[in-house]
Every structure is written in C-alpha cells, then in structure tokens.
Structure 1
Amino acid sequence: FNYAAYAFRTKDFGKTWERIADDTQIKSYVLSILEDTENPNLMFLGADDGLYVSFDAGKNWNKWTAGFPTVTAMDLVIQPREQDLAIGTFGRAFYILDDIRPLRSIAQNKDILNNNIKLFEPPTAYLATYQQPSGSRFGADAEFNGENRPSGAMIAYYFKSKEDKSTEKVEEADVKDKKPKKDSIQLDVYDGDRLIRTLKQVAPEDNGLQRMYWGLDEKSADRPSRTLRKSNREFGGQDVLPGTYKLKITYKDQSDETTVKVEVDPRLKPSFADLKSKYDAAKLLDGFSESAAKATKQLAESRQTADDLQKDFAKADKEKYKTEIQSSKDIIKKIDELLDLYFGKEDKRQGIVRSPLPNVTNRIFGASRYVRSRNGAVTATEQRLIDQAKDELNQALEKTNTFFETVWPVYKNSVQDKLPSPFKETQLINKN
C-alpha cells in the first residue's frame, strides 16, 4: 500500500499541476484538503495520521496536535458564522477547531511570529444563560457527551519565550532561577480606564498559539473571614454589562492590546435597563461585603494581637502578669462575640454545620445569590433581602465601632507598656 502524501494544485484550470505535499513534512496519505475562504495562504490538510496546517499556501506544513489526536481526518469545512474549522474523522468522533481567525492573521502577516507576545481580537462574547438539561443528571461512563466551547470570552494570543533555550550545560541553581514564574502571563481587562479584572497564568512551556478565557466578570469584592488569610488570588464577581472592553496582555516587558465585544444572550434579549438594575444591586452588595471584610479583618488582627500577648505574658511570668493574661482572655471573648455577629456562633462539631440564626454574611450572600440569578431587573423580593442585609451589617458595624472606640483602647493602654507593643492602628468602618 502506498502511504505517500499526494496533494496537487493547479493555477491554470488544470493545464499544469504542482505538488504541494510530500513525505518530508506529511507522514501519511492525504484524504482531504481545504483552502481558507478569506486568506488563500491558510490551508488545512487532513491525512491518515491527523491534521496539518500551512501558512504559506502549501509550501510548508505543520502538524496540528493541540486538542486533536492522531486520527484519520476525512473531511474539512469552515463554518462561516463562527469562523470554526469542522473536522470529520473516520469513526473517531467529530471535532471543532474554534475560531481560526488567529491563524488567518499569521498567514497574512508572518512577522507576528517575531513577537514575544501578540494578542488577537477575540470573537464576540455572550452573557449566556445556562440551564440543566432534562433527563439524567449524572450519566454513566459509557454515555458519550460532546464538549461545548468554554463559556466567556475566548482569548487567543501568540507566545514566544524570552528565555534562553540553548542546550549549554548550566548549574542546577541557574535552572531554578530561570524557571518561569507562576504568574508570568497577565491579562488585564478594562472598562474604559477602570481596571475591572486581572487574570494570571504560568507562561506556556511551548511557543505558539495559546488560549485563555475571561468569564465576563469583574473582580470579586473582598469577602469577610473569621481568620486572617494570605492569598494573592483574584476571584471573579459580578457579570459585566454589554459593551466593548479593552484587553491588555503582558509578558515581562512586552505587552499588546485589543478589544472584545460583549453582548447579551440573543435567546433572551433582556433590556439594558434591566441588566443595569441587576448590576447596580450586585455592586451595592459588593460594597456591603467590602465593609464586612474590613471590619472582620480588623477584629481578626486584634484577636491575634491579644492571643499573642496572652502567650507572651504567660511565657514571661504567669504570676506577675496574671491580670494582663485574664484581660487578654476577656478581650478575646468579646472579639469572638463580635465575630459571631458576622458569621454566626462558631460550631466546632465535625461535619457540615450551619448557623440557624441570621448573620451578616448569610444575609449578604443570600441576597447576592438572588440578585445574580435574575435574568432581568431586581424585584421586591431581592430589594427586601438587600434591605435586610444592610440592616444586619449596620447593626454589626455599630457594635464593632463601639468596641474599637471604647473597649479596645482600655485594654491596649493596660497592657502595651508591659511588653514590646504589637498593636496595629485601628479605624472606624463607615456604615452603608
């Protein structure tokens, strides 16, 4: 059997032919070939061992391995609306290569490959609404389910490492120093001049086209916590409104910019006024969360200070500092009572437990869940939940501020001169 790669092209309606595929680059026989409808330099070739791509009208071919296995590529077609490449295989499923426009850009201008980082204009992103389909929720392993395209904005970029790829021998310490940093690729999203989201990822190990996804959301508000947390991770929050957003990608000292258009779900078509109502309500609740986070962080820091002092006094002289040790225990108890206003009384039983009584966090997050689940404007139900969250928060903040105005200074003055001072400055938290 002849496994050689044969693909020919004519430019004079069949009078003469030139071979555009051979065994040096394509390792199996050819089954299908497709020229891009917009840029003739971009060509796709289906062979018995997979998919190949050419950026120079067939002079050179590269095997495409990202997400596509070594299977027989029987047929190729470009979906004009989505600009996707559809690939039909022989008994090995049906594949979609999402958004071939970055490939067109490279075929149009190969100087792109000289950049260390290049951002391509993404396709329109939709604020899509998802619903659990009817039928079985958890299918058996033998039940096949095709993959959907990930939600959000699909952002393609070209990456070429600035690191030295030479094979010269280096010391182990040098290798560790040259290891890519965890967050060496950064994507910033702007609404006008306002930075609303920052996504970070490890620089890819291989040069070439890469993808990342933005969930069409803004940065989440800081969340209250009973304990002190150390985390640099940014979480997603409220969905953005329809509009055009600026994207800026950065790698070391190189950066590139483009824009992405965000539109509503065309199946639902909610009005902008309804979406703005939902957005404003969500941002209001984000403000509540920020205020609660500031208060609980200050309480947690103060509790840590008192706990450290209690241990230091006990270590120095339990009998001499008996009064100070007891004062520290009393102030810790008062702080715990204040934290209970935000989180409910702490239940130290094992398993999943939940406070049955209302508190600040479950009021805020309960209202937030209702608001974010709306497909339109907020109703009287959501407004009532927002008002309840506001009242619960303001009551807790009033008691917290009273504590830091009256109780905490007394404790601070009674112990701070006995040992080196660990106290941090405190501030009053504005009500909402």
Structure 2
Amino acid sequence: TESGMYISFDDGTSWKPFQLNLPVVPVTDLAIKNDDLIVATQGRSFWVLDDLTPLHQLNDDIAKRDFWLFQPRPTYRLRGSVAEHPVNAGKNAPNGVLFRYTFKTQPDSNAVVLKILEQSGQLIKSYKPKAKEKRDRLPIKPGMNRFVWNMRYPDAEKFPKMILWGGGTAGPKAVPGTYEARLVVGKDSVTTSFEIRKDPRVSATLADLQAQFDFLISVRDKLSETHVAIKQIREIRKQVNEIIAKAKGKHGGTEIEKNGKALVDHITKIERALYQTKNQSRQDPLNFPIKLNNRLSALASVVSAGDFRPTAQAIAVRDELTAQIDAELAKLHDIVATELPAFNRLVHDSGVPAVVI
C-alpha cells in the first residue's frame, strides 16, 4: 500500500501490519523467489525478507501450541562465512541450517534442548540455553526464536593451552541428505525433518563427499583419543609430583621419589611424542617442530579445504600417523596397567595417598 505492507491469514477478510523493520513508505511491487519476499519501495530502495516458509506453515493449531519448531527450508552446504555486522552492505542469510521456533511463555532453561539427529535417529549434537560456548547457546525468549546450526559435527576433544599450527579441532560438515531436529521442552517434544543440499557448483558426487566425511570423522576421533590421553598424562604427572612432595622426608620417601620420577619421565616422553610441549604462543611452532597430533590435525585441514574425495596420498599419511599415535597410546596403556599400579602399591605401603585417575 501507500503506507507500507500488510498480511492476511484468512484469504483477505482481515489484514494486519507486516512492517517489521521496513520503513513507512509506499510499496510499489512484490515478488517471491525461492521463498524469499522482495519488496520494491518508492524512493527507499528494495528490501528482501528471507524465508517465508514459517508463514506458510503457520496455522490455528500451531498458534495454540505452547511451543513449536518450524521445518527449515532446504539449506545449501556452502563454504565461507557471513559478516555479523556489515556497515556498508546488506546482511546475507546465515551460512547454516536456520531453525525457527516459538514459545508461548518463557520456558524453564533447564528443560529445553534442541537435538540434531541423523535420519537413522543417531544424535549428532545437542544445544541448550546454558551451553558453555556462546555459539552453542539456544535462545528461548517468549515468541519467535532462531538458531543456526553450522552443519558441523562435534569438534575433537581439546586440552588447556593447546596450540596447533595449520590445523584445528573443528568437526566435519554434514553430508548432503535428510536430517531431523527435535525441540524438547520437559517431557514434550516437536520433531521435524530438514534437507541439506549439495552446492550446485561442486562437481564431487555424494559418494565423494561421504568418503571425505568418513575420513575427517576418523581423524577427529583419533585426535580426541590423543588429546584425552594427553590430559590423562598431565593428571597423572600432577598427582605423582604431589605425592613425591608429600613423601619427602618420610618412611619410604626416597623409593617413592625414585619410582615416581621414573614414571613421570616415561609418560612425559609419550606426551612429547604426541604434542609439542614447548609451544607457549601462537608463533612457537615456527621454532619447534610440530608433533603427531598437529600433523594429523593439519592433514584434516588440507583434506577439508574443498569438496573432494580424499586422495590416496592423504589416506596413506593418515594411516601412517594413526599407527604412530597408536604406538604411543599403547605405551601409555601399558604404563597405566602395570607401572602405575605398582607405584600406587608402593605409596600405599608407605602410608601416603596414591594416584587416582
């Protein structure tokens, strides 16, 4: 109209303002393309309202519900990122699956979770209002909410002050296909399906993308196993050093110190093979060679740089690095199974608290 835009949900019997952030201005034309609404104005440029599908789905039954999860429109698996606050350009739609959901009233933040699942029902990741990471926090205000899933599976395990050069711990992007989302509030839930589509510019087949995903998941899992082992090594070393300090000057203290230092030396050698422990700043890898976990992480970064099947060379390097990591982890397992219990028995016989893992 001459004063803005209006919407009707009863075939034109009644109309309501549909202004949102559109200025009060004559609207001269409307067009719909790929479920986006394009609005031409008289003197105030043209505007785009992304994704009309929630309006298509809205009905009296949904309006009466205490909460509802709308079905997302198909999402293309694209690369790149979106500027959060562009100052001289329009803001693009987010790069990910955009979920819209409503609450009639403010829900209990401890009772709400959004679950992303594979079509088989296998859980990919859950998001909650009180998640530790800001990017994982689920908005739950009364009315309409939105949350963007970046299409990635969970990241690899991390440990404090970890520094990697040319690599990271990000989980791989989901393969194009059909998935499910489930919004749970207390004992009730709403489930909907959604589709991730392949970038039409990509020449790789679905089989190629699945092979890439399988490769990256295997690397992620091995990185997690490695980093959990590093955290275990550090916890053992911390406790052993505390016991040595407690036992100093006491009965059996000399023997405890001797065996404890030997144990610490053995696990530290494993840690240094898995991770470059000299790294203290982001530039330190320039001076100190990267170790097994960083080499594997960097390989994943290379393989994930495009939408392609991993090469035979990449697979060979992964298998070689995995074998070397497994050899170090086997050494750690043997120490935990034999040397650590022997140390604990020695400490017990001396009356000093032992190591607990």
Give me the TM-score of the superposition, normalised by structure 1.
Answer: 0.68
Query: Which residue matches 2:30?
Result: 77
The one-letter amino acid of 2:356's match is: F
- For structure 2, the 5+ residue unaligned runs are 130-136, 163-168
Q: Residue 309 of structure 1 aligns with which residue?
A: 243
Alignment of 1:133-212 (within 5 A): 144-161=88-105, 181=109, 184-201=112-129, 204=139, 206-212=141-147
Corresponding residue of 2:154: 219
Aligned twin of 2:283: 352
Correspondent of 2:356 among 410, 423, 427: 423
After superposition, the Cα gap between the structure-2 partners of 1:319 and 1:204, relative to the gap in structure 1 and judged at 3 Å, is closer
Supply the RMSD in Å over aligned alpha carbons: 3.3
- Residue type matched to 2:173 in 1? D
3-state secondary structure, aligned to 2:333: helix
Q: Which one of 337, 340, 343 corresponds to residue 411 of structure 1?
A: 343
Counterpart position of 1:126: 76
- Equivalent AA in structure 2 for residue 115 of structure 1: R
Higher RCO structure, 1 or 2 (CA under 8 Å, sep 6+): 2
From 269, 287, 290, the counterpart of 1:337: 269
* Contact 2:176-2:197 at 8 Å conserved across structures: yes
Of 115-124 and 399-408, the range deviating more from structure 2: 399-408
Quick one: distance in 1 between partners of 2:68 and 2:81?
35
1:363-382 matched pairs, under 5 angstroms: 363-382=295-314
Which residue does 1:116 correspond to in 2?
66
Within a 5 Å distance, the mapping from 1:53-72 to structure 2 comes to 53-56=7-10, 57=12, 59=14, 61-62=16-17, 64-65=19-20, 68=21, 70=23, 72=25
- Determine helix, strand or coil for the equivalent of 1:237: coil
Aligned counterparts of 1:313 and 1:70: Cα–Cα separation in 2: 76
Native 8 Å contact 1:117 1:250 kept in 2? no
How far 1:257 moved relative to its partner? 0.7
Check the 8 A contact 1:72/1:90 in 2, yes or no. yes
Structure of higher CA gyration radius: 1
Instruction: Provide, for residues 43-75 of structure 1, a one-character-per-residue CA deviation record: whole Å limited to 9, x for no partner.
Output: xxx52xxx554434363525554xx26553634
Aligned partner of 2:204 among 264, 270, 277: 270
Read off the aligned partner of 1:250 and give its amino acid letter: V
- For 1:298, the equivalent position in structure 2 comes to 232
Specify the SS of the correspondent of 1:121: coil
Larger deviation, residues 205-214 vs 328-337: 328-337
Please, which moves more after superposition, 290-299 or 56-65?
A: 56-65
Q: Which has the higher helix share?
A: 2
- Residues of 1 paired with 2:319 and 2:299: CA distance? 9
- For structure 1, the residue ranges without an aligned partner over 5 or more in a row are 1-29, 32-45, 133-137, 164-179, 229-234, 425-432
Q: Which amino acid aligns with 1:59?
A: S
- Listed one character per residue, the Cα deviations across residues 71-103 of structure 1 (whole Å, up to 9, x for unaligned) are 5363452423x1112234566554322111211
TM-score by length of 2: 0.81
Cα deviation for residue 113 of structure 1 reads 1.7
TM alignment of 1:383-402, pairs within 5 A: 383-402=315-334
Alpha-carbon deviation of 1:242?
Answer: 2.0
Deviation for aligned residue 1:276: 2.1
Residue in 2 that maps onto 1:95 = 47
After superposition, the C-alpha distances for 1:304-363 in whole angstroms (9 at most, x for unaligned) are: 32234245446xxx4556423564455334333321111113245x66312632422112
Partners of 1:205 and 1:130 in 2: how far apart? Answer: 28
8 A contact 2:115–2:123 mirrored in 1: no
Give the secondary-structure state (helix, strand or coil) at the position aligned to 1:262. strand
Aligned to 1:259: 193
| Separation in structure 1 between the aligned mates of residue 266 and residue 200 of structure 2, nearest angstrom | 53
Cα distance, 1:110 vs structure 2: 1.7
What is the total number of aligned residue pairs between the two structures? 338
Q: CA–CA distance in 1 between the matches of 2:266 and 2:204?
A: 48
| Percent sequence identity over aligned pairs | 21
Structure-2 change in CA distance of 1:60 and 1:207 (3 Å): farther
Please say if residues 224 and 292 of structure 1, whose CA atoms lie closer than 8 Å, have aligned partners that are also in contact: no
Specify whether residues 395 and 259 from structure 1 end up closer, same or farther in structure 2 by C-alpha distance, changes over 3 A only.
Answer: same
> Taking structure 1 as reference, are residues 334 and 72 closer, same or farther at Cα in structure 2, changes over 3 Å only?
farther
Report if aligned partners of 2:28, 2:40 keep a CA contact under 8 Å in 1.
yes
Alignment partners' CA distance in 2, 1:102 and 1:55: 13
